[in-house]
């Protein structure tokens, strides 16, 4: 049995309607629908949504938890936006927002321009080094944060670069002094 697939999805604050394998939802932030595969069925009981496999489809149960998690993320995003914090560390490293474009100064010889997707909102503090991304689409939000982090990953010696808030960077020791190591 799937441990994730068995969990009910909380639908408080979201209107959910099940029509066959289509699950239509409407919340204060977003509305949409998810199509479940033929081997899964959904039903609403109170303010919980249950996703169960259809009888006789044993070999396809491996995807039960995946589709339940995708549906749960879509419903949670309809009720409340997902949020991701990104930190930029380094002398002169910052971002500026102009319209739908982000302009990064990351210590390269040029500035990097990236367009922000329509479904993702950005809030930058006055230093330009703390970014807060919000979106109802969890997948798109994670993809944008990963693309930004890949521009200048945090290096382990000085910990300068871009990292997600709460991410642990394993630091490395620098070079030992030449006189102390070779004196023996």
With tokens 């070079």, the residue in question is 175
Residues 6+ apart with CB under 8 A from 176: none
Q: For residues 39 and 23, what is the distance between their CA atoms, to the nearest angstrom? A: 14
Q: Of 183, 144, 182, which is closest to residue 162 (Cα–Cα)?
A: 144
Q: In what side-by-side order are the strands of the sheet with 161-164?
A: 120-124, 130-135, 82-89, 161-164
CA angle, residues 1, 26, 83, in degrees to nearest 5:
75
- Quote the mean pLDDT of the chain: 89
Q: For residues 156 and 6, what is the distance between their CA atoms, to the nearest angstrom? A: 41
Over residues 106-120, the pLDDT tens digits come to: 999 999 999 999 999
Is residue 13 within 8 Å of 79, Cβ to Cβ? yes
Say if residue 184's pLDDT is above 60.
no
Query: According to the model, what pLDDT value does residue 180 have?
Result: 58
Query: According to the model, what pLDDT value does residue 133 have?
Result: 96
Angle between helices 64-79 and 138-151 (to 10 degrees): 90
Say if residue 95's pLDDT is above 90.
yes
Average pLDDT over residues 38-61: 84
Banded pLDDT at 54 (limits 50, 70, 90) = confident
Question: Tokens in use for 144?
Answer: 């944008």
Model pTM score: 0.84
Alpha-carbon Rg for the chain in angstroms: 23
Is residue 106 within 8 Å of 154, Cβ to Cβ? no
Q: Name the 3-class secondary structure at 117.
A: coil
Say if residue 33's pLDDT is above 80.
yes
Q: Name the 3-class secondary structure at 34.
A: strand
Q: Which domains can be identified in the chain, with CATH numbers? A: 9-79 (3.90.930.12), 82-164 (3.90.930.12)
Banded pLDDT at 174 (limits 50, 70, 90) = confident
With tokens 């995807």, the residue in question is 63
Average pLDDT over residues 142-157: 94
């Amino acid at each position: 049995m799937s441990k994730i697939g068995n969990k009910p999805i909380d639908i408080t604050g979201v209107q959910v309607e099940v029509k066959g394998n289509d699950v239509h939802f409407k919340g204060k932030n977003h509305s949409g629908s998810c199509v479940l595969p033929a081997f899964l069925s959904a039903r609403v009981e109170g303010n919980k949504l249950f996703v169960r496999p259809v009888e006789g489809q044993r070999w396809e149960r491996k995807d039960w938890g995946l589709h339940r998690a995708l549906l749960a993320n879509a419903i949670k995003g309809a009720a409340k936006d997902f949020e991701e914090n990104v930190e930029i560390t380094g002398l002169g490293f910052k971002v500026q927002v102009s319209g739908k474009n982000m302009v990064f100064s990351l210590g390269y010889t040029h500035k990097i321009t990236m367009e922000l997707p329509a479904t993702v909102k950005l809030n930058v503090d006055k230093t330009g080094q703390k970014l807060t991304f919000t979106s109802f689409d969890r997948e798109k939000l994670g993809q944008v944060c990963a693309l930004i982090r890949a521009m200048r990953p945090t290096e382990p010696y000085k910990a300068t670069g871009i990292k997600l808030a709460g991410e642990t960077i394993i630091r490395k020791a620098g070079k030992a002094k030449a006189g102390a190591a070779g004196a023996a």
